[in-house]
Structure 1
Amino acid sequence: MTAPPAHALDELSHTGGGPDTLALLVRDQDTRRMLLLRAVLDAAEGADPADCPPAAKRRLREDWALLAEADRAADGPRSPARTRLTYPFTGPWARRCLTALTTPDGTGELPLELAYFSALAAAAAARAGLPFATELTARDGLLCLPSLGVLRTGRSGSAAIEVRHKNGRLTLRRRGASDVHVRLEQGVGAWSGAPAWTPAHALPGLLPGAAPVPLDDLDPYRTPPRDPGRFAFSGPSGPDHAERKRWLQAWSGTAQALRTGGEQRLTETLALLRCLVPLAPPPGSDGRGSSSGTRREAFGALLSTTPATPTALAATLVHEMQHTKLAALGELVELHRAGPEARYFAPWRPDPRPYDGLLHGTYAHLALAGHFQRTALAEPARREAAWAEHARYHAQVAAALPALVASPDLTPAGRRFVDGMAAAHERLSARPAPRGHTARAQAYVKAVRTLWAQRQPPTPPIPNG
């Protein structure tokens, strides 16, 4: 893992990133994931038997061996085993296990956490076409087989499930219930006529020939633990058939909406997006609110409420893929040494932001300003609405950039990056929105700044002496 070359840093600072630069980010994140998994295995091997019993260690080694066999058996450059290990939610799982193994008294849930890895290995082996027989553990009445689906046991608590695979057919056997037979489908999902089985779902590739994109409403690690904060993620959603249809309708027009805002946006979405996670509407929104986000520990996942239109989904992708790029870049090279103190004005939030939060938000809004400027220039039917969006995002970035540029906490790489952002913002100014849109956007930002300042507690006086 090495620092990115100067040209890659420059590309990213302009909210871009060519194929080689995006591939660099992906390779680095995949490498970090494999190192994290190695750390989990090493921590388990070195753990006290009271925390990680010999049987658990032995099962972990067996699961890893099954994954290695699945990797060897697969055709093509990307095996089902590697796909599962670098899937976004293997990251949160691994971090949770590592925390449990390295924190005093943190291993209470460890057996159930490790059971997820056993199911992951079994799913990868089935995808690779390996025959096997194993025993898995359902947790809270659910056995999740990543990329395949979920078996619902109908009982609370944990339960042992015997799983056999041969020739693309899984047999799931549990005590006191009929066997469930499941047929694997190509890519994502597995079909069964049993009511106890819920298949995994996916949206078609963004372009013809592109891989399907999982619409993951099943993985137990798909959303972070609930945070009562105002800007935390809303809870996970379990979409019904009608809701999935709305996702598909929005998704079907998203490639064109992305391309209208610049070919770069389509390129980076194809390179970085690994799954979509449906979210419930935010609390108190009467079902009409929207929210979206990414998670640093789950590279490639985008969490979102159901998008209303392809245009809305495209804007969400533009926004969130910038967070994905910047988070990955921040692990390759240190951009700043600012602390976590929340003290900066961000025109898109009512609360003060830490420097890193301001950097992320400004970067995402800069990309949106460019996206809507190109849309306004290319789509006569949407011109006025797109100019209004562009003017607002452009004015917001203009208000945030001075604090970023002036920071003494920037590293040399960070200075180059922020200066590149400022230059990209200046280039957008060469094709301004019509005067009325610009004036309204600037007045809006000014009003927001005034309200923000009024809400901040007074600065305490500096004591004498």
Structure 2
Amino acid sequence: MLPVVPERALLELGRTEGGPDTLRLLVRDQHTRRLLLLRAVLDAAEAADAGVCSAGARGRLLEDWALLEEAERTVAPSASARVGAEAGTYGPVRAGLLHPFIGPWARHCLRGLGAAGGPRAERDTRELNRDLGYFGALAAVAAARSGVPFEVRLTARDGVLTLPSLGSLRTNVPGDTQVRVVHRRQRLTLGQVGEADIVVHLQSGIGAWSCAAAWTPAYALPGLLPDSDPVPLDDLDPYRTVRGGPRHHALSGPVTLDDAERKRWLHAWSGTASALGPGGEHRLAEALSLLRCLVPLSAPPGSEPGGRPGGSCSGTRREAFGAVLSTTPPTPTTFAATLVHELQHTKLSALCDMLTLHRAGPQARYFAPWRPDPRPYDGLLQGAYSHLALADFFQRHALATAHPAHRDSAWAQHARYQEQVRAVLPILVGSADLTAQGRQFVDQMVAVHERLAGRPAPRGQAARAAAYVKAARALWTQRRAPAE
């Protein structure tokens, strides 16, 4: 049974907005789904054939779960429960289970556990054991942060043991290997055969420090506001990007940052809150409520002449609620726009988990001015929704700034996004596949577009935007025309 979405929340989201209650509704529902997904992994492991999940792997999963339960009991109830409805702060156990990457990890496990019984390729068995072993690292981190003493053995994957939110250990062998992990009094001792022990000191927040060169601490950017939580900039977690599936057409791969790249991230991030402000207070509010993690990407190849990397890209993953993937942002305003864009996808995907907006099929047949390929109706809706928010964001910027160059740039961006949305709204509105709630949602998008049209861009900017969309449509039509 789908949860109830109040009409007020539906209308707010249709306007690409969302008040505090609406954003909390989305977050709460996604967190409930995450816990149910975790339960599904445990149930699937229990029910799996021995040829799929061995008794040893199943027993280890239950031991890890027991360690989590002990950590939950150890922490005072006030720390385990949510602290502050708007802050979204959790105790260490819930915080670990609700981290964005638990979603893709759980779905990867379910695919492996759902395999048919009988003989399995050695690679498949090894991969499933790796996936289930990640839960042990998660349990160990939660227990350590809760103050529970323990000693466990964890498996490093391809020579790297990742402890989520703490950091990673590069082992002395390149393949999969066992690491003894002991926690006592806020210190982790990591032991490998034939190597001296490495001591890691826990600290509050993200990261843990060690003098050992083999240890890389997790990294976090400061909170968007002085009193908000730090935001992890995660270049360590093995589940931070798609594994074993097709990659989004425009996304590059993950990257491990060096000090120079981290400084560039910090420089852009430090001005992001200020850049979000002129675009509307609700844009900063949704970033504070929904953003849980940033994943750095490498620059896509071929984005500069000669095939050299140098462009940019960003994205979200529906199963990793709260994570935004992005190349290094060049400026705070650019990254603020990236967050506006990607968090609309986050909001709309979360809403679509709660109700049905349309019943259109997956056939890719619609023109979208922001993509060279045909789009299905759902993809068209997602793209128009995020571009409508960007049109609003840049119009507000243009109206708020007194700097001529910044104003011209903002109007140009606004005009392009406004024209792109205008080109596809008739398709969205005219669909017979919209549900009653879907029609309410799309009608609100139309109302926002009409409101924005009441303060149009300068004539030259608008003309260039119209010409751009016209050229994109002509090229799209030419590519789809049958060869003579």
Verify: 1:275 aligned to 2:293, yes or no: yes
- Aligned equivalent of 1:463: none
Select the residue among 213, 219, 238 that pairs with 2:256. 238
Structure 1 residues 38 and 64: alpha-carbon distance in aligned structure 2, compared to 1, 3 A threshold? same
Whether contact under 8 Å (1:372, 1:389) holds in the other structure is yes
Verify: 1:94 aligned to 2:106, yes or no: yes
3-state secondary structure, aligned to 2:320: coil
Unpaired runs of at least 5, structure 2:
83-89
- Aligned equivalent of 2:68: 67
Matches within 5 A, 1:211-222: 211-222=229-240
Q: Between 400-409 and 58-67, report the one with greater CA deviation.
A: 58-67
2:419, 2:333 → 1: CA distance? 21
3-state secondary structure, aligned to 1:109: helix
- Aligned equivalent of 1:450: 474
Whether contact under 8 Å (1:343, 1:352) holds in the other structure is yes
1:242, 1:225 → 2: CA distance? 27
Whether contact under 8 Å (1:365, 1:397) holds in the other structure is yes
1:453, 1:239 → 2: CA distance? 41
Whether contact under 8 Å (2:14, 2:444) holds in the other structure is yes
Whether contact under 8 Å (1:15, 1:363) holds in the other structure is yes
Verify: 1:323 aligned to 2:345, yes or no: yes
- Aligned equivalent of 1:7: 8
Matches within 5 A, 1:230-309: 231-285=249-303, 286-309=308-331
1:357, 1:270 → 2: CA distance? 26
Verify: 1:411 aligned to 2:412, yes or no: no
Please report how far the alpha carbon of residue 407 of structure 1 lies from its aligned counterpart in structure 2 after TM superposition. Answer: 0.9
Please report how far the alpha carbon of residue 156 of structure 1 lies from its aligned counterpart in structure 2 after TM superposition. Answer: 2.1
Verify: 1:384 aligned to 2:396, yes or no: no
Please report how far the alpha carbon of residue 232 of structure 1 lies from its aligned counterpart in structure 2 after TM superposition. Answer: 4.0
Verify: 1:441 aligned to 2:465, yes or no: yes
Whether contact under 8 Å (2:272, 2:336) holds in the other structure is yes
Amino acid of the residue matched to residue 43 of structure 1? A
Verify: 1:207 aligned to 2:225, yes or no: yes
Structure 1 residues 232 and 444: alpha-carbon distance in aligned structure 2, compared to 1, 3 A threshold? closer
Structure 1 residues 308 and 70: alpha-carbon distance in aligned structure 2, compared to 1, 3 A threshold? same
1:380, 1:69 → 2: CA distance? 58
Structure 1 residues 458 and 229: alpha-carbon distance in aligned structure 2, compared to 1, 3 A threshold? farther
1:55, 1:177 → 2: CA distance? 27
2:211, 2:395 → 1: CA distance? 49
Select the residue among 91, 113, 118 that pairs with 1:79. 91
- Aligned equivalent of 1:401: 425
- Aligned equivalent of 2:29: 28
**RMSD across aligned C-alpha pairs, in angstroms?**
1.5
Structure 1 residues 154 and 457: alpha-carbon distance in aligned structure 2, compared to 1, 3 A threshold? farther
TM-score using structure 2 length: 0.93
Please report how far the alpha carbon of residue 361 of structure 1 lies from its aligned counterpart in structure 2 after TM superposition. Answer: 0.4
- After superposition, give the CA deviation of every residue in 1:332-383 in whole Å (9 maximum; x if it has no partner): 0011111111110101111111111100000000000000000011111121
1:39, 1:230 → 2: CA distance? 27
- After superposition, give the CA deviation of every residue in 1:72-121 in whole Å (9 maximum; x if it has no partner): 33352311111111111111110011111112245452111111000010
Structure 1 residues 408 and 223: alpha-carbon distance in aligned structure 2, compared to 1, 3 A threshold? same
3-state secondary structure, aligned to 1:380: coil
Amino acid of the residue matched to residue 357 of structure 2? L
Verify: 1:347 aligned to 2:369, yes or no: yes
TM-score using structure 1 length: 0.96
Report % sequence identity.
64
Amino acid of the residue matched to residue 351 of structure 2? L
Verify: 1:224 aligned to 2:242, yes or no: yes
Please report how far the alpha carbon of residue 411 of structure 1 lies from its aligned counterpart in structure 2 after TM superposition. Answer: 1.0
2:19, 2:62 → 1: CA distance? 39
Select the residue among 120, 125, 129 that pairs with 2:143. 125
* Number of aligned positions between the proteins: 460
3-state secondary structure, aligned to 2:183: strand
Whether contact under 8 Å (1:101, 1:107) holds in the other structure is no
1:360, 1:373 → 2: CA distance? 20
Runs of 4 or more consecutive aligned structure 1 residues displaced over 6 Å after TM superposition: 226-230
Structure 1 residues 199 and 95: alpha-carbon distance in aligned structure 2, compared to 1, 3 A threshold? same
Structure 1 residues 73 and 364: alpha-carbon distance in aligned structure 2, compared to 1, 3 A threshold? same
- Aligned equivalent of 2:180: 162
Whether contact under 8 Å (1:183, 1:192) holds in the other structure is yes
